[in-house]
Amino acid sequence: MVEKPRAEWSTEDKNKAYRDNVDKDILFKTLDKNMFSKIKTCSTTKEILEKLTQLYEGNDQTKENKLTVAIQKFDNAKMKPGETMAEFDERFSNIICELISLGKIYINREISLKVMRALPIEWMSRL
């Protein structure tokens, strides 16, 4: 694709360029120095978003590995000694959010059963 000279830009072209510059500015301001250095050569917002997606999500193999690790975290989740229910709930909710972001959805029944199995044996007498 050959880019038009600026003198030939229509009003729509100018608006698109303006929006792209605003979007790039927002992205640049939200990234830390380390991440900014990885995307600073990108010339459009689309390129930046594609690069960030690739950096954060990785390729299909990376995504599969992340999903495997997240499923293992779910399967191995247990309430730690001295951990409060609120602390466990926050930790477990983070695992569920990670799984959802990777495309793995559990039904509420599976989650409830997992939580009950994750409780310490002392809690069984309370149920």
More confident residue, 24 or 1: 24
- For residue 12, tell me if it sits in a domain: yes
How is residue 50 written in tokens?
């594609």
Same structural domain for residues 12 and 49?
A: yes
Same structural domain for residues 13 and 50?
A: yes
pLDDT over 70 percentage in the chain: 95
- For residue 32, tell me if it sits in a domain: yes
Instruction: Give the tens place of pLDDT for each residue, 55-96.
Output: 877 777 888 888 999 999 999 999 999 999 999 999 999 999
Q: Enumerate residues 6+ apart whose C-beta is below 8 A from 92.
A: 77, 115, 118
Report the pLDDT value the prediction gives residue 56, as an integer from 0 to 100: 78
Q: How many independent structural domains does the chain possess?
A: 2
Give the Cα separation of 52 and 64 in Å (integer): 18
- For residue 1, tell me if it sits in a domain: no
> By the 8 A CB rule, do 64 and 74 touch?
no
Same structural domain for residues 49 and 86?
A: no
Domain residues for the domain of 64 are: 60-126
Q: Enumerate residues 6+ apart whose C-beta is below 8 A from 39.
A: 27, 31, 47, 48, 51, 52
Give the Cα separation of 92 and 56 in Å (integer): 22
Q: Would you say residue 126 has pLDDT above 80? A: no
| Of 37, 57, 77, the domain-final residue | 57
Give the Cα separation of 67 and 71 in Å (integer): 6
Query: Model-level pTM greater than 0.85?
Result: no
